Amino acid sequence: MQLTLLIVDDAPFIREVIKDLAQKNGITVIGEAENGEDAVKLASELRPDVILMDIVMPKVSGVEATRRIMQEWPEAKVLALSTLDQDVLVQKALQAGCKEFITKPFKSKDLVDKIKKIGGGDYD
């Protein structure tokens, strides 16, 4: 069984790095969004196993996008992605429904492990 992932980040380079890392580790990237507004739409349409959500983005923040996704789909599994100095935002993301968070810069193994852990199945 393949673990599916939706990547949400406003930086194309970060999305590309994560997509490459995911694919090398047997995770299927089924969508990418560059802002929270698109993330809400794609999460609803695609229903990925895990949503990797950047916290700070244009249009709609990752916190607000997570809140909207959880209202529509309470079973969604969201992993917040933040930079080191965003402790208050991370707490808001967790309150909005994120299951866990990882900080940028991240270690490849740590990111893959958290995605698989949150995905909750045996995906190896």
Q: Residue 47 corresponds to which tokens in the numbers above?
A: 């229903």
Q: Residue 85 corresponds to which tokens in the numbers above?
A: 């100095």
What does the angle CA 81 – CA 28 – CA 115 come to, to the nearest 5 degrees? Answer: 35
Domain extents in the chain: 3-116
Report the pLDDT value the prediction gives residue 122, as an integer from 0 to 100. Answer: 58
Report the pLDDT value the prediction gives residue 121, as an integer from 0 to 100. Answer: 65
For residue 93, how many C-alpha atoms fall within 13 Å in the half-sphere facing its CB?
31
Q: For the chain, which ranges sit under pLDDT 50?
A: 123-124
| pTM score | 0.94
Residues 6+ positions from 25 with CB-CB distance below 8 Å: 112
Express each pLDDT in 73-101 by its tens digit.
Answer: 999 999 999 887 778 888 999 999 999 99
Please give the CATH superfamily to which domain 3-116 belongs.
Response regulator (3.40.50.2300)
Report the pLDDT value the prediction gives residue 72, as an integer from 0 to 100. Answer: 95
Question: 50-54 and 3-8: which strand pairing?
Answer: parallel
Q: Are 120 and 4 in contact (CB under 8 A)?
A: no
Instruction: Name the β-bridge partners of 27.
Output: 3
